[in-house]
Amino acid sequence: PDHLQKDPTPTQIQDLHLAVEDLCVFYGEAQALNHVSLSVKKGQTVAVLGSNGAGKTTLLRTLTGMLRPREGNIVFSGLNIEGKPPSEIIRKGIAIVPEGGELFGAMSVSDNLLLGTYPMSRSERKEKLSARLKTAFDTFPILKSRLSQKAETLSGGERQMLAVARALMSNPELVALDEPSLGLSPLLVTEMMRLLKNVCSNMSISILLVEQNAKAALKIADYAYVLERGEVSFQGSGREVVSNPSIYSAYLGG
C-alpha cells in the first residue's frame, strides 16, 4: 500500500537501534503476526497502536524472547536476537515493562527496584547501584519517600512509576512498555507520558510504546505503527497518523 514506507537505505539502517523484519508468529496454527516490520532509531519514541487482539502484546513477547518467531529477524544494536532467551535479551540492553507492571506486591519498593539489577554481576551491581537509584529517584521522586512501603500499598500511578523505574535499574538502551496507561486516570496518563518522554530525552533511551490509548501515545511518539489483525496497516509520524481520517475515526474518537 502507498502509505507504507519503502525499505530503509543502508545509511538509515546504521541509525537504527531496533529493526524488526518480516516477523511471523503463530500460536499453534493460528497466526498472530503476519510479516510485521518496524524500526526504532536511537533516542526515538515509537508507538505501536491497535485494538485488543491486534498483535501488540505478541510483538512485545517475541521481541523480549518469550515467544519464538516462525519467520523473520529481530536486530538490536546490530545483533540478531530473535529466539534468544529473555535473560540474554535483557543483558543486551532491552528492558520490558509488562502490562500491569507485574510487581512483587508483598515486597517493598526498595526490593522491587533491586530486582531490576539482576542482569548485572555482583561487582557491577556494587559499582553502579547508587547511580541507578539516583536516576530512578530523579525521574520518579515520589518513590524515594515510599522505599519501605510494600508495592501493593501504592496507588495505581505509583505502581506504574515503580514498574518503569525497575526497568531503568538494568541500565537499558531500549525500554518496551505494554499499555502503561492501563487503569490510570486521564491526568495520570498525561503525567506518565510526560515522564516517559523525559526518560527518553534525558537518558538517551529509546522507547517502544505499545498502547491502546492512541491519543496519549501520539502526544509523545516520534513515529507510530498501527497493527490490525497481526499486520501493519499504517505507519507514519505522529502528525501523519492523527491526520489520517480512517485512523482518526477508529482510534482517536473522531
**Over the stretch 93-152, which tens digit does the pLDDT of each residue have?**
898 888 766 777 778 888 888 888 877 777 777 777 788 888 888 888 888 888 888 888
**155 neighbors 109 (Cβ within 8 angstroms):** no
Going by C-beta distance under 8 Å and a sequence separation of 6 or more, which residues neighbour residue 138? none
Q: Kind of pairing, strands 231-237 and 174-178? A: unpaired
C-alpha dist (Å) from residue 7 to 69, 87, 163, 180: 21, 31, 35, 30
Size (the chain), residues: 254
pLDDT at 182: 81
Most confident of 34-48, 193-207, 232-246: 34-48
79: β partners:
76
pLDDT digits (tens, 9 = 90+) for 15-70: 678 999 999 999 999 999 999 999 999 888 999 998 888 899 899 999 989 999 99
pLDDT at 239: 82
The answer on pLDDT for 4 being more than 70 is: no
Distance CA 62, CA 47 (A): 17
Output the average pLDDT for the chain: 83
